[in-house]
Amino acid sequence: MGIDGLPLERGKVRNLDGRVQDETGAHIPGMYVVGWAKRGPSGVIGTNKSDATQVMERLLEDLGTGSGVPRNGITPPPHAIDLAGWKLINEREIARGGETRPRVKFPIRTELIQNAR
């Protein structure tokens, strides 16, 4: 079962080194895959880590050249949490821990979203 808009090929998303490719083989800007989506159902956690490292290297290369900029029409989900939001969550979880614990996590998604704003 695929995801609308992602080109599947032999049980994985069509890609080259994690860069998602369209039907012509061209990189779709801003689209990357790792793990089973990248290579199919194989490997272990360590394989996924090396996949992620490789794809981050490609993503940084693409951002440096401007080719990693997403095409028009791709927007983050409405409740996406950016780096600034993550920093707020981190600060607030540490504060919740007080003197006795390193942090107290927000276990509920809605709490995370509220504390990222």
pLDDT digits (tens, 9 = 90+) for 77-116: 677 788 899 999 999 999 999 999 999 999 999 999 999 9
Residue 17 lies in a domain: yes
Same domain, 60 and 21: yes
Same domain, 61 and 87: no
Same domain, 88 and 61: no
Residue 52 lies in a domain: yes
Out of 5-9, 44-48, 51-55, 58-62, pick the least confident. 5-9
pLDDT for 12-27, tens place per residue?
889 998 998 988 988 8
pLDDT of residue 35: 87
Confidence of residue 5 (pLDDT cuts 50, 70, 90): low
Q: CB under 8 Å, gap of 24 or more: what pairs does 81-85 form?
A: 81/112, 81/113, 81/116, 85/116, 85/117
Residue 72 lies in a domain: no
Please state whether the predicted TM-score (pTM) of the whole model is above 0.75.
Answer: no
Residue ranges making up the domain that contains 21:
8-65
More confident residue, 81 or 70: 81
Count of the separate structural domains present in the chain = 2
Same domain, 18 and 55: yes
Residue 16 lies in a domain: yes
Same domain, 13 and 59: yes
No. of helices (H) and no. of strands (E), the chain: 4, 5
Mean pLDDT of the chain: 84
Same domain, 15 and 61: yes
Give the separation between CA 52 and CA 34, rounded to whole angstroms.
Answer: 6
Same domain, 16 and 61: yes
Same domain, 15 and 56: yes
**Residue 6's closest CA among 21, 25, 24?**
21
